[in-house]
Chains A and B, each alone.
Chain A
Amino acid sequence: MLDLVNVSYDTLIPNNVGLSNDRRVLKALEKWHPGYINWWSDLIPDNFQKSLVYLRTAVSVDPKGWAKFDYVKMPEYRWGILLAPAVEGRTIPCGEHYGEPAWQEVPGEYRAMLRRLIVIQGDTEPASVEQQRFLGLTAPSLYDMRNLFQVNVEEGRHLWAMVYLLQKYFGADGREEADDLLRRSSGSEEAPRMLGAFNEETPDWLSFFMFTYFTDRDGKMQLEALAQSGFDPLSRTCRFMLTEEAHHMFVGETGVGRTIERTCQVMKENGIDDPYEIDRIRALGVIDLPTIQKKLNLHYTLSLDLFGQEVSTNAANAFNSGIKGRYMEHRLDDDHKLTDATYPVWDLDANGQLIRHEVPALTAINMRLRDDYTRDAAGGVGRWNKIIEKAGVQFEMKLPHEAFNRKIGVFANKLFDPDGKLLSGAEYDAGVKDWLPTHADGDFIQSLMKPVYEPGKFAGWIAPPKVGIDNKPGDFEYVKLYMA
């Protein structure tokens, strides 16, 4: 009998899906494996590949004690295929097939749609590793470096998860798509990643923290929606991925929080009350709060674009067919079909005023998920403000209005300020340097990016964490660097 909770290590690929009994898929995955290892090896700088990193590896999908921590070289990380346990008698949670038994095989009529969704999700996973490939070189501490690598290997494992679905359920087409996931590459001229936001390099650690807070949170929302899928293997895969994704949010939230904390602390130590005394603050080697706000503005708005058009046919189709649900679908109290429901979406009236107007809820699935995202993202911002308040600094971080700095959807390519006011070109040009990071801001942040590789030490622009990973003490050597 298969042990579907504990991870089997009897094949090259750790799994809880009985891979050793599924010769066809095992063979396909083993064929794909070398390409993956090549991809990883070409990506991460060599001395990090050979370093021992204190990583957690999933050993079970039991919510209690699912992972164990140990030193491992990243290429030897056991990338596994792990699905959350099957829920007996699970039914399709939404759309026209609501209440029917969940699909255990791909329904032919939705093959193309399912495959597309899995490929798009799969494409983002390795993309972020590619975007972050050089950050190890400027890590502000071994603790942070370890967190970076943890995020990286888990994104890699998420790629595995999607590839497994493609190989197992989509035949020859799926195998080709799996190969193409390794062919495309972030920022590549030859074959770029599918979504624009995943083709930008992550240039510095503040960007990394913002990315993991805001952009990985888009990933979380997408996984939440896919975890509601009527296609059970996809649902189970995504449910387990969410367990890991929580750590990525944590890295982002505490990373930004520690940056803010350090800035406030240095301001106080030096008797600076006005957060806008930017030159003085910067001279002390910390990142001023207005610049952090600008980074927030940028990453939040880029992430909003990832939700697509407010009114979307594809999203409606995916919901109605039961392929992709809403955030927390099982907790929502409605017919789960949205037969006659409406939902308010943003629009511009004839005078350029922002309004929300009702459209069929089925077509507004993206807008709804984005609203859920905004609520979810607001939590951490509140906690950052607590840090500022506690330090006694007069400043408040804010999520900008959704209309600001958008490239996709109803606000695309129109000029708004962060409060959502429609601006003329001249007004926008005058204000934008205060709303979005300038090249000079980037240069300044870059100037702080000096690696700190000594255990227990942190770069001057960031505070140490309250608690270590796996409750390790402050001077724990999270990465045993390989020194050639």
Chain B
Amino acid sequence: MSKIIDFQTDPSKYRHWRISLDGEIAHLYMDVDEKGGLFDGYELKLNSYDLGVDIELADAVQRLRFEHPAVKAVVLRSGKDNVFCAGANIRMLGRASHAHKVNFCKFTNETRNTFEAAGAESGQHYICAVKGSCAGGGYELALACDHIILTDDSTSAVALPEVPLLAVLPGTGGLTRVTDKRKVRRDLADVFCAMEEGVKGKRAKEWRLVDEVVANSKFDESVLARAKDFATKSKRPDGAEGVKLTPLKRQFAEDGSISYSTIEVALDRAGRKATITINGPDGDAPADMDAFHAQGAEAWMLRAARELDDAILHLRLNETELGVVVFRTQGDPQRVLAHEALLLANKDHWLANEVLLYWKRLLKRIDMTARSLVAVVEHGSCYAGVLAEILWAVDRSYMMEGEFEGDNRPLATLTLAGSNFGQYPMGNDLTRLQTRFLGEPEAVEALQGRIGDALEADEAKELGLVTFAFDDIDWEDELRIFLEERASFSPDALTGMEANLRFPGPETMETRIFGRLTAWQNWIFQRPNAVGEDGALQRYGSGKRGEYNMQRV
């Protein structure tokens, strides 16, 4: 599967989804085009999905938040008669490389998290209206919604048949949300997750697998009524006007490097390294939210987030051999702070809230990127406020100390803002600073006193905010040796090591999904019982059952 995967799309290009707007309520119809697979060799039957379907879903979810702020409830439903969604396409999974499977699962997980959070964070509640078979990834879509309504037609059921049918796990949050979110009793969860046919009708409600079961003849009516209930509870503004997410300005060079308006991605294939440069705002912050709204997708805070998001996704899926991602920033830290401050001061404005939430998700996307992440704080950097978070998302950071010969950029600094103390929590629900200073919570408290100070290298290092600070004698060599060494290690061991070290502290449902569930799934994705020539995934569709090595490991 080598083909450039583009994460940019818009509703005029959708093949698999339809949005229909009805005042405060949007209906998001899944109606997958069988012939619309991202790759050849499989058909997306029964509303099954591949990455292409999920890219459209992610786009739809994002646009509902930004372009349709007046929508308070989104009804997720099937556009097909007899099936809600059959889950991830098995033939696609059977053919996909291990790397693609893992990336696919990660992206779909991030998308589920995005619409799951939409209700609590921004008052846009997802309600799942299930009619027809809702199995595997189909039920996982439902699980990420705030409310699940199942029709009682004596046929429609919810199911997680992965274990008995495919010898893999419901790995898009399925197992975790059944126990942690829906709090299904764990013995019943065992029964549920080991049966092919799933659970229907009243039992689905009794087992807490769905929130309500309604008569088939009253299904649409009940769904609409429930959507209205949620809309009434929502704190979203009435009739607010959205912001159009216009196409990104993006240019690919022949060597694969990318230029956006605020982001540059330079590739060093020999060194297996990508360098992402974030350029700070080139103008003053908008005067107020009206001005921000008028700038819309052009406003720096939104534009940079969209561009950086696209760059990260592109590197993840399309540049899998670049093992190290280096972050740089260049610009005026005061301007970065000013642009962010406008939003922080107007958090009750829906758009300010959405942009801040987007940065929260984007920073988590960086946390979750399986590459060695490095930040370099050069002269002229603008690691301030939101951008400073990157310093604590990466595995380690290097900062220039003192004057460098021939370099007349402003001396390297980093600047804390109030936002670094709670605005952008990680998946473990701690701030990056809390996670960083898990053993010395008092250090975080002390840092609050330094908000707004432009901290130079010696101080930043002293405060533990960067890993290393080097002067111009050592800088180049230290960095080169580190990068060369890093690029030579086993990528598997690095991924495992980094994923473990990045998320100390308490577990949350999110960390359990990305840690426990994903790790087990990825282990199973390597095992012959699933992916071997005679494994269940490979044999799926052939009529032959998987042959298992019955040894318990």
Contact A316 B542 (CB under 8 A): yes
Contact A184 B216 (CB under 8 A): no
Partner of A112, one of B154, B195, B217, B545: B195
CB distance from B86 to the nearest CB of A (A): 11
* Bound complex: CA A115 to CA B82 (Å): 20
| Chain B: number of interface residues, binned into ranges | 10 to 19
Contact A180 B154 (CB under 8 A): yes
* Bound complex: CA A113 to CA B543 (Å): 12
Contact A360 B542 (CB under 8 A): yes
Interface residue count on the A side (C-beta < 8 Å): 28
Contact B196 A112 (CB under 8 A): yes
Which of B197, B540, B543 has most chain A Cβ within 10 Å? Answer: B543
Contact A116 B216 (CB under 8 A): no
Number of A-B contacts (CB under 8 A): 58
CB distance from A338 to the nearest CB of B (A): 8
| B406 interface residue per 8 A CB criterion | no
CB distance from B423 to the nearest CB of A (A): 48
Which of B164, B197, B215, B216 has most chain A Cβ within 10 Å? Answer: B197
Which of A190, A194, A309 has most chain B Cβ within 10 Å? Answer: A190
Q: Report the stretch among A55-63, A139-147, A317-325 that lies at the interface.
A: A317-325
Contact A362 B164 (CB under 8 A): no
Contact A184 B154 (CB under 8 A): yes
| A192 interface residue per 8 A CB criterion | yes
Partner of B217, one of A116, A190, A321: A190
Q: Tell me the residues in window 106-125 of chain A with beta carbons closer than 8 Å to chain B beta carbons.
A: 112-113, 115-116
* Bound complex: CA A116 to CA B155 (Å): 11
| B183 interface residue per 8 A CB criterion | no
Shortest Cβ distance from A184 into B: residue: B154
Contact B216 A112 (CB under 8 A): no
Contact B216 A189 (CB under 8 A): yes
* Bound complex: CA A360 to CA B539 (Å): 12
Shortest Cβ distance from B153 into A: residue: A191
Shortest Cβ distance from B196 into A: residue: A112
Partner of B216, one of A115, A180, A190: A190
Query: Contact string, A179-195, partner B, CB cutoff 8 A, digits 1/0?
Result: 01001100011111010
Q: Is the interface of B mostly helix, strand, loop or mixed?
A: loop
CB distance from B429 to the nearest CB of A (A): 39
Q: Tell me the residues in window 41-98 of chain B with beta carbons closer than 8 Å to chain A beta carbons.
A: 45, 82
Query: Contact string, A449-480, partner B, CB cutoff 8 A, digits 1/0?
Result: 00000000000000000000000000000000
Contact A191 B154 (CB under 8 A): yes
Query: Contact string, B140-164, partner A, CB cutoff 8 A, digits 1/0?
Result: 0000000000001111000000001
Shortest Cβ distance from B91 into A: residue: A313
* CB contact under 8 A between A112 and B541, given known A184-B154, A184-B155, A191-B216: no
CB distance from A230 to the nearest CB of B (A): 14
* Bound complex: CA A12 to CA B215 (Å): 34
CB distance from A94 to the nearest CB of B (A): 11
Contact A362 B542 (CB under 8 A): yes
Q: Tell me the residues in window 164-203 of chain A with beta carbons closer than 8 Å to chain B beta carbons.
A: 180, 183-184, 188-192, 194, 196
CB distance from B280 to the nearest CB of A (A): 52
Partner of B197, one of A112, A196, A309, A338: A112
| B544 interface residue per 8 A CB criterion | yes
Partner of B155, one of A112, A191, A360: A191
CB distance from B55 to the nearest CB of A (A): 25
* Bound complex: CA A365 to CA B155 (Å): 25
| A417 interface residue per 8 A CB criterion | no
| A363 interface residue per 8 A CB criterion | yes
CB distance from B194 to the nearest CB of A (A): 10
Shortest Cβ distance from A95 into B: residue: B543
Residues of A within 8 A of B195 (CB): 112
Residues of B within 8 A of A362 (CB): 542-544
| A96 interface residue per 8 A CB criterion | yes
* Bound complex: CA A419 to CA B197 (Å): 40
Contact A190 B153 (CB under 8 A): yes
Contact A316 B197 (CB under 8 A): no
Residues of B within 8 A of A112 (CB): 164, 195-197
Residues of A within 8 A of B152 (CB): 190-191
* Bound complex: CA A320 to CA B542 (Å): 9
Contact A321 B155 (CB under 8 A): no
Residues of B within 8 A of A319 (CB): 543
Q: Is the interface of A mostly helix, strand, loop or mixed?
A: helix
Contact A363 B541 (CB under 8 A): yes
Q: Tell me the residues in window 519-547 of chain B with beta carbons closer than 8 Å to chain A beta carbons.
A: 540-545
Residues of A within 8 A of B153 (CB): 184, 190-192
Residues of B within 8 A of A196 (CB): 82
Residues of B within 8 A of A363 (CB): 541-543
Which of A113, A309, A317 has most chain B Cβ within 10 Å? Answer: A317
CB distance from A63 to the nearest CB of B (A): 34
CB distance from B87 to the nearest CB of A (A): 13
Residues of A within 8 A of B164 (CB): 112
Q: Tell me the residues in window 177-198 of chain B with beta carbons closer than 8 Å to chain A beta carbons.
A: 195-197
CB distance from B136 to the nearest CB of A (A): 14
Shortest Cβ distance from A193 into B: residue: B155
Shortest Cβ distance from B198 into A: residue: A112
CB distance from B550 to the nearest CB of A (A): 13
CB distance from A184 to the nearest CB of B (A): 5
Query: Contact string, B207-220, partner A, CB cutoff 8 A, digits 1/0?
Result: 00000000111000
Contact B543 A190 (CB under 8 A): no
* Bound complex: CA A166 to CA B520 (Å): 37
CB distance from B158 to the nearest CB of A (A): 15
Shortest Cβ distance from B200 into A: residue: A180
Contact B197 A183 (CB under 8 A): no
Residues of A within 8 A of B544 (CB): 96, 316, 320, 362
Shortest Cβ distance from A182 into B: residue: B154
* Bound complex: CA A190 to CA B82 (Å): 14
Query: Contact string, A302-327, partner B, CB cutoff 8 A, digits 1/0?
Result: 00000001000101110111000000
Contact B216 A96 (CB under 8 A): no
Contact B542 A190 (CB under 8 A): no
Contact A115 B197 (CB under 8 A): yes
CB distance from A45 to the nearest CB of B (A): 24
Residues of B within 8 A of A313 (CB): 540-541, 543
* Bound complex: CA A190 to CA B45 (Å): 26
Residues of B within 8 A of A320 (CB): 543-545
* Bound complex: CA A264 to CA B503 (Å): 84
Q: Tell me the residues in window 278-335 of chain A with beta carbons closer than 8 Å to chain B beta carbons.
A: 309, 313, 315-317, 319-321
CB distance from B502 to the nearest CB of A (A): 40
CB distance from B204 to the nearest CB of A (A): 13
* Bound complex: CA A313 to CA B94 (Å): 14
* Bound complex: CA A410 to CA B541 (Å): 17
CB distance from B478 to the nearest CB of A (A): 56
Which of B82, B195, B542 has most chain A Cβ within 10 Å? Answer: B542
* Bound complex: CA A320 to CA B153 (Å): 31
Residues of A within 8 A of B540 (CB): 313
CB distance from B139 to the nearest CB of A (A): 16
* Bound complex: CA A196 to CA B541 (Å): 24
Contact A316 B541 (CB under 8 A): yes
* Bound complex: CA A89 to CA B15 (Å): 55
Which of A183, A191, A316, A320 has most chain B Cβ within 10 Å? Answer: A191
Contact A321 B545 (CB under 8 A): yes
Which of B197, B217, B540, B544 has most chain A Cβ within 10 Å? Answer: B544
CB distance from B202 to the nearest CB of A (A): 11
Residues of B within 8 A of A360 (CB): 542-543
Residues of A within 8 A of B155 (CB): 184, 191-192, 194
CB distance from A268 to the nearest CB of B (A): 47
Q: A184-B155, A192-B153, A316-B541 are in contact. List 9 more A-B contacts (CB 8 A).
A: A96-B545, A112-B164, A184-B153, A184-B154, A189-B217, A190-B153, A191-B153, A196-B82, A363-B542
13 A-B contact pairs sorted by A residue (CB < 8 Å): A96-B544, A190-B215, A190-B216, A191-B216, A192-B216, A196-B82, A316-B542, A316-B544, A317-B545, A319-B543, A360-B543, A362-B542, A363-B542
Give me the 10 closest cross-chain CB pairs, A-B, nearest first. A316-B543, A362-B543, A112-B196, A320-B543, A189-B217, A191-B154, A180-B154, A313-B541, A191-B153, A190-B216
